[in-house]
């Protein structure tokens, strides 16, 4: 966009960088570059792989993250979720798609793997007008970043009592770990249908654990989890 057109656009719809608030840019070149440096395409670094324990079925769920939550990436993610900066879904979508595609286990015949977003609460969707995780996946699908054997399927939902009690993500770590089941999944259309769970941030692992168990009880085989960013402990040195 030329300087004149940008000036006209900002006069009509004032804008600023979603990360640093610099005027005249939705995402300034410097912040875009920093976010690109903080997100990784496969092969992902060793520190970006984690396991979430599923004690009720004596299994572990492997989880991979595209980045480490912090700095410009964290500010961009918060702007995307809490400040209506919806356009950032298109910035994040290719990284999620690459991580999902590279980690997907080929299935025999024509069996499709379902990509399942961990849902936002109804209250959060009503406030934002969209679900951040689902939006990133939909952007990737619209741009042809997923092969035909991967199908986005919104089969996870909040239980009614969880909707009334408040979103799982807003609770403390101890409350999450000791809480009741928050999700329910639609019954599998084929026994053992493979599922890849997708969320925005991995912190305690409680949300993905609840989502994985809901899918397991509904007859799915949850093969892995993918998140945009992983939260490291406070004393951990982030990768540069």
What is the residue-wise DSSP string for 135-193? HHHHHHHHTT-S-TTEEE---EEE-HHHHHH--GGGS-HHHHHHS---EEEPPPSSTTE
Tokens 């928050």 belong to residue: 182
- The C-alpha atoms of residue 223 and residue 95 are separated, in whole angstroms, by 19
CATH 3.40.50 domain position(s) in the chain: 39-230
Torsion (CA) 73, 79, 80, 84 in degrees, nearest 10: -170
Given this model, what pLDDT does residue 218 score? 98
- The C-alpha atoms of residue 101 and residue 124 are separated, in whole angstroms, by 28
What kind of fold does domain 39-230 have according to CATH? Rossmann fold (3.40.50)
Tens-digit pLDDT profile for the chain (240 aa)?
Answer: 454 554 444 445 568 999 999 998 999 999 999 999 999 999 999 999 999 999 999 999 999 999 999 999 999 999 999 999 999 999 999 999 999 999 988 777 778 999 999 998 888 888 899 999 999 999 999 999 999 999 999 999 998 765 555 554 545 454 454 456 889 999 999 999 999 999 999 999 999 999 999 999 999 999 999 999 999 876 554 433
Predicted structure pTM score = 0.87
**What are the two backbone dihedrals, phi and then psi, of residue 143, each rounded to the nearest 5 degrees?**
-90, 5
Average pLDDT, the chain: 87
String of DSSP letters for 198-239: EEEEESSSHHHHHHHHHHHHTTEEEEEEEEEEEPPPTTPPPP
In 23-174, at which residue ranges do the beta strands (DSSP E only) sit? 49-54, 59-68, 113-117, 150-152, 156-158
Given this model, what pLDDT does residue 238 score? 40
Contact (Cβ atoms closer than 8 angstroms) between residue 146 and residue 101:
yes
Given this model, what pLDDT does residue 110 score? 78
Residue 18's contacts (CB-CB under 8 Å, 6 or more residues apart) are 26, 27, 31, 75, 76, 79, 80, 83, 85, 88
């Amino acid at each position: 966009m030329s300087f004149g057109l940008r000036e006209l656009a900002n006069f009509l719809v004032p804008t600023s960088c979603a990360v640093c608030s610099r005027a005249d840019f939705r995402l300034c070149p410097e912040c875009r570059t920093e976010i690109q440096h903080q997100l990784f395409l496969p092969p992902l670094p060793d520190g970006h792989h984690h396991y979430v324990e599923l004690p009720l079925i004596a299994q572990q769920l492997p989880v991979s993250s595209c980045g480490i939550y912090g700095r410009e990436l964290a500010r961009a993610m918060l702007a995307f979720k809490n400040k209506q900066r919806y356009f950032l879904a298109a910035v994040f979508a290719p990284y999620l798609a690459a991580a999902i595609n590279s980690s997907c286990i080929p299935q025999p015949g024509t069996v499709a793997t379902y990509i399942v977003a961990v849902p936002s609460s109804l209250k959060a969707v009503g406030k934002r007008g969209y679900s951040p995780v689902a939006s990133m996946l939909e952007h990737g699908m619209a741009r042809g970043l997923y092969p035909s054997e991967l199908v986005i399927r919104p089969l996870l939902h909040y239980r009614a009592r969880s909707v009334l009690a408040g979103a799982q993500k807003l609770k403390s770590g101890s409350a999450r770990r000791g809480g009741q089941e928050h999700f329910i999944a639609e019954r599998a259309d084929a026994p053992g249908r493979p599922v890849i769970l997708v969320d925005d941030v991995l912190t305690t692992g409680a949300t993905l654990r609840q989502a994985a168990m809901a899918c397991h009880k509904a007859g799915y085989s949850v093969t892995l989890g993918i998140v945009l960013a992983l939260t490291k402990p406070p004393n951990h040195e982030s990768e540069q």
